[in-house]
Structure 1
């Protein structure tokens, strides 16, 4: 039986970041989680949010806490890439329109974010994007853009191992408290950890038997192969929740065309779906991933894409299921759930870009000093 000071369960974006920070701080740490399923249709999970080729990076946000998380994380990208030898970041910029874009811009400028207001005519001329319905449009320059989450997890995992951490490619099926810590069933083996950090997204509650009020929204994303045209930035176009509820076309995001495993270069688009199903348990999440996603939601996303890019042609398309795990306070849930187990879960659809800082903050729970951040208070990350 292997023994560690800390076991990080969940080898995704947040878990791999937490393990790296703990290992580089000299802690004895195991990063535990299975690889990507070969066949969604037959796998029983667990599934993870980083099985993807693109996630948006940005620092502008209506919530200052998310801006701080993003600025800190993005500021470390280059170091992680250089030391791991794995590139994952592309600074393509971001076109942004929110419910209160002028307030968002003012806050971003206070934090020295490179962003400015632009006109719909400029966006149309530079990118071929129709944003005429937006009240105001913000252009955020690089390092806004996107990351490759698969490669980011690989980079963090490699640095964890380089720092002396142990990376275990297996799922955890059980966690039992003992006098010395927590005994984990990992595949056919057993791991004993003095304490455990769960970075398991939609799977956390069932693993530890703690009632975590997480909302698991079953969603579909569309990948579209476009004809040749202007290079595109990332995009977020959102308005107030009431308007989105009435007309979901007012809530759209995309990652610009990137190369997917099947060699196609495709734009990935998602958005708000008022008809999205909420999963009450893990079996429902598993069934969703195995289903392949919603054709109706994919069709709706394609229609939205055509409205934003009226002069582009969609050569081919694909779609896949995903799950957005939300918390009651719209920030990641980072806290102890008992004297041995802590959680860092609930990305709220915004955590990928900020995962390195979320993981670092979660890791401070396992240090002698504890959480001492002068700007981001632990209380803000508790529901």
Structure 2
């Protein structure tokens, strides 16, 4: 992409647009790009970026797992549609944001593993199955398999690996800019619907959106001021991971490892691991994070903001992560570690929310990533943009993604939770 397109001008003051997208993270930038491809400068993306002092978000990282292996079909479908477009996004933006290295899901054949295999079979996802620890170790000698009477492995070699959320956001915003997307790098205080439009109150000033507002603000979507009542049924939890710097010898030995999702006997023994990745400071870090364990419930904006700003992981998670590294990557020498803190927004049925919340069908939301949205953000944004633009049908018209899978649940609606989600920032 030409340099003059990448270095696009940030709009400091926009008073009137057709569509406003609130939230400049992975789904917000994707949705804004798709809307701008149709409406150009009539679309505005609002929200602070990582470079701004005090900005809080889930994209400030270099490693998230992408793959087509998911235990819920809607997430697997979103992932596969998104991954197919990765090469085009990278080529058009000039930003190589992903690396294909494969993924191995292994451990006890619990519900997560069984459902992952079932969904993969129903969708025709190519994978290799391993029965028993010996078979896994033979194929992946760098990986340790804790003793268990029953161990299986599911390996996806292609269409799987890790991506940089930072660079994907940069790529999507660059493509949006090329289509004419306007940008306001301010925090939104609240959204007010008037008789003819939306009034979006910022830290400094106001934006008027005539045709619709799409809220893609992650954990902050449900904390007040951005969506209409009744409140969304969202569970917020503190997510944590360790970035582990290894010795040069260990880093070299694990350079070709796949991404890992390990299912242990109990929730506090379930982890995901990414191979050593270079971070902006030039250092290489192996990332390890948990599933649903070690994730405290967060009930208010102050608790969410405090968690984002923590400077350490919890001692119980650090201890469990060190044991997991020792068991799953025998011989790996950790010489330093630093925390990575974030917040997940989960729905009772583990489905994403992409829905219109008002009677006029103009106030949209795209949230409830359930810890799985990074890899699927391109298609999530596309679905949300099509929903906003199709005022007559109010949906994306894709038979693979029925509207019923994306309904935003409100707190007075009781829905039984689905299987235990791997609710972490994969």
Within the candidate set 88, 94, 112, 1:79 is matched to 88
Partner of 1:202: 219
Q: Secondary structure at the match of 1:192?
A: strand
TM-score (normalizing by structure 2): 0.82
For residues 38 and 131 of structure 1, the distance between their equivalents in structure 2, rounded to whole angstroms, comes to 43
Once the two structures are overlaid, the 10-residue window that deviates more, 49-58 or 218-227, is 218-227
Within the candidate set 361, 385, 388, 1:366 is matched to 388
Unaligned runs of 5+ in 1: none
For residues 62 and 178 of structure 2, the distance between their equivalents in structure 1, rounded to whole angstroms, comes to 25
Q: How far has the Cα of 1:151 moved from its partner?
A: 0.3
In structure 2, the CA distance between the partners of 1:72 and 1:137, relative to structure 1 (3 Å rule), is same
In structure 2, the CA distance between the partners of 1:65 and 1:7, relative to structure 1 (3 Å rule), is same
Once the two structures are overlaid, the 10-residue window that deviates more, 95-104 or 141-150, is 95-104
**What is the correspondence of 1:1-383 to structure 2 with a 5 Å cutoff?**
1-26=14-39, 28-36=42-50, 43=54, 45=55, 47-97=56-106, 99-100=110-111, 101=113, 104-118=116-130, 120-125=133-138, 126-132=140-146, 133=148, 135-194=151-210, 195-205=212-222, 206-208=224-226, 210=229, 211-226=231-246, 227=250, 228-230=252-254, 231-238=256-263, 243-245=265-267, 248-249=268-269, 251-296=270-315, 297-338=317-358, 339=360, 340-368=362-390, 369-371=393-395, 372-382=397-407, 383=409
Cα RMSD after superposing both structures: 2.0
For residues 135 and 282 of structure 1, the distance between their equivalents in structure 2, rounded to whole angstroms, comes to 41
Asked if the contact 1:201/1:325 (under 8 Å) is kept, the reply is yes
Deviation track 1:119-152 (CA, whole Å, cap 9, x = no partner) reads 5335434341112446210110122001100000
Aligned length: 372
Unaligned runs of 5+ in 2: 1-13, 410-426
Deviation track 1:144-193 (CA, whole Å, cap 9, x = no partner) reads 00110000001001111111111222211221222321111233132111
Asked if the contact 1:7/1:30 (under 8 Å) is kept, the reply is yes
Asked if the contact 1:52/1:150 (under 8 Å) is kept, the reply is yes
Which runs of structure 1 show a deviation greater than 6 angstroms over 4 or more consecutive aligned residues?
none
TM-score (normalizing by structure 1): 0.91
Q: Secondary structure at the match of 1:324?
A: strand
Asked if the contact 1:93/1:144 (under 8 Å) is kept, the reply is yes
In structure 2, the CA distance between the partners of 1:328 and 1:118, relative to structure 1 (3 Å rule), is same
In structure 2, the CA distance between the partners of 1:171 and 1:127, relative to structure 1 (3 Å rule), is farther
Q: How far has the Cα of 1:5 moved from its partner?
A: 1.4
For residues 116 and 340 of structure 2, the distance between their equivalents in structure 1, rounded to whole angstroms, comes to 31
Q: How far has the Cα of 1:106 moved from its partner?
A: 4.8
For residues 272 and 304 of structure 1, the distance between their equivalents in structure 2, rounded to whole angstroms, comes to 13
